[in-house]
Chains A and B, each alone.
Chain A
């Protein structure tokens, strides 16, 4: 659940954000915040972002710290569980992607690919609260 993801992330947020070498860039918020996405495109963005984190981000976030790794595993498995639920909406055509949300997600991928993979993954993980805040506001 989002609550569990938030609690897992809160436990490692400071540590992960301290590992982020590039403070001048944002992956999720550049150039526009997630909050600018219209309500019709929210499910599409959420579905794509869950896939993005599961497929691309978490696997490149392994650290030397066993506690951090356990918390990342906890978040990743929660994402997997929620990705499955969102996947059902997508299959039932309740999660349509319009031009705006498609463009928005393309921008996020471009931001991600503009950095080396480890920096991009750590930065994306460090920005999880942006995603969680947006999801809770969009409920």
Chain B
């Protein structure tokens, strides 16, 4: 039996604190190749004899992607590896080049929806998980120097930002903040609304 090649092109896709390990498929004609993933945190490297820990949800899978979010749960450098199995044949480990630290996740601006309910300026924010807080800036159009800030730690309903004057345009933008990595996203697009006798009018 020829040795099974190790998986190649191993890389991480990490966006908004969701982390995925991906690799290129190992192609063996008329065979089903299965893959298994293991991780090693800094603790394992420095204090536990460089041991590796299997991710059982990604043991003997046919997919070439593994959700490692739950195991990458500290802001330290992790190593990751994956190997292939076909029947009794097993490849060497393919190891991610370098390390992965969640501090490098890419943070996208939050999705938000700004509305006026009568004279109340409201914003609805996308729930991005417990690690996320939001910094919401709001101001009267043309008075950018008098921006007000509201920090939203938990997204469970619509957030009340301000009580508006009739016939005035109000604008809002927001960014996320992730405390465990001490980083923020860019700001979202600005959204503006105006009250006209109790009806909200979108002004983007």
Contacts and interface: CB of A to CB of B under 8 A. Distances in A.
Contact of B73 (A58, A67, A69, A78): A78
Contacts of A69: 53
B74 A77 contact: yes
Given A1-B179, A66-B54, A73-B53, A81 B74 contact: yes
A100 interface: no
Contact of A77 (B54, B73, B179, B180): B73
Contacts of A1: 179-180
Interface string A73-97: 1101111110000000000000000
B131 to A, nearest CB: 8
Interface residues of B, number: 22
B63 interface: no
B47 A59 contact: yes
A68 to B, nearest CB: 11
A93 B71 CA distance: 34
Interface in A1-41: 1, 3-4, 8
Given A4-B73, A67-B56, A74-B71, A58 B179 contact: no
Of A70, A76, A77, A80, which is in contact with the most chain B CB atoms at under 10 Å from its CB?
A: A77
Given A58-B48, A70-B71, 14 more contacts: A1-B180, A8-B73, A54-B47, A59-B47, A73-B39, A74-B70, A74-B73, A74-B74, A76-B44, A77-B41, A77-B78, A78-B73, A80-B42, A81-B76
8 contacts: A3-B130, A58-B43, A59-B47, A69-B53, A70-B55, A73-B71, A74-B70, A74-B71
Interface of A: 1, 3-4, 8, 54-55, 58-59, 66-67, 69-70, 73-74, 76-81
